[in-house]
Amino acid sequence: MIAPKEWFGEWFDSPYYHILYKNRDHHEAEHFIDHLIKYLPINPEDNVLDLACGKGRHAIYLHKSGYDVTGIDLSPDSIAFANRFTRRFGDEKLNFFVHDMRNVFAIEEFDHVLNIFTSFGYFEKAGENKMAIQAASKALKPGGKFVIDFFNTQKVIENLIPYERKTIEGIEFIIEKKVEGGFISKYISFHDNGKDYRFQEKVKSITQSDFLKYFEAAQLKVIDFFGDYHLNNFDPHTSERMIFITQK
């Protein structure tokens, strides 16, 4: 018997996921990566792992900036799309693989591991998040840095919009959000081509203290903590992000 897909395996492989989020701010993402390159710093000879890379837009931007980058993601469709760019660039400094972040991908191969734009917290069991952090740590060389960028859970919950409608490419998406069972859940309903669809997103409501426990278990030391993509200080009520800079 084939086990059902986890929600992220089903939703991230759907073309509707990419329609709903087509207007994400690519300039903001690149601006953040530029800040990270200078802050860490990422040197020309460094190897970078983009953890949960999706279709590879961040990995591709890093590669264009001159770095050796590997992207891994659970979605075969996303990795197939990203691999179009490996053929286009035709060198060995950009690679993509289908891989579950809960499992160890490499041992001490990377100078930097990046998990950015809330590409974390999808798993049902808290222990699986811990496993993913430990796997990321194992991929780092001694002294290497792991960066994780997660939404500011406290602010998200305090400002949750329970219901909204968005029309994109002629499709009306009905979006309902709620906090339930330790997760921030989003239900996405719509009708297209004679069919009704309903998908779910759910992200674990991980707190700052939760992350600190994960890092300690993975032998990662927090060396800095920021609240936005400009690397400003964190404020629990006003900051959009929780950006942890950790070192092995």
Q: What is the DSSP string of 175-207?
A: EEEEEETTEEEEEEEEEETTEEEEEEEEEE---
pLDDT of residue 91: 73
How confident is the model over 102-126, as a mean pLDDT? 93
- Can you tell me the distance from the alpha carbon of 227 to that of 242, in angstroms, rounded to the nearest whole number? 5
In a domain, residue 143? The reply is: yes
How confident is the model over 3-16, as a mean pLDDT? 73
Assess contact for 153 and 119: CB atoms under 8 A. Answer: no
Interior/surface letters 138-154, b for 16+ CB within 10 angstroms, e for the rest: bbbeeebbbbbbbbbbb
In a domain, residue 70? The reply is: yes
The single-letter code of the amino acid at 202 is K
In a domain, residue 195? The reply is: no
Q: How many domains does the chain have?
A: 1
Assess contact for 122 and 8: CB atoms under 8 A. Answer: yes
pLDDT of residue 5: 63
Question: Which domain, by its residues, includes 56?
Answer: 24-150+206-247
pLDDT surpasses 90 at 9: no
Determine how β-strand 68-73 pairs with β-strand 195-204: unpaired
pLDDT of residue 25: 60
The pLDDT tens digits of the residues spanning 37-94 come to 999 999 999 999 999 998 899 999 999 999 999 999 998 888 999 999 887 777 789 9
Assess contact for 114 and 144: CB atoms under 8 A. Answer: no
The single-letter code of the amino acid at 109 is E
The pLDDT tens digits of the residues spanning 18-31 come to 899 887 767 888 89
In a domain, residue 36? The reply is: yes
pTM > 0.85: yes
User: Of all residues in the chain, what percent carry a pLDDT higher than 90?
Assistant: 77
pLDDT of residue 2: 36
- The CATH number covering residue 97 comes to 3.40.50.150
CA dihedral over 37, 40, 44, 48, signed as positive or negative: negative
In a domain, residue 77? The reply is: yes
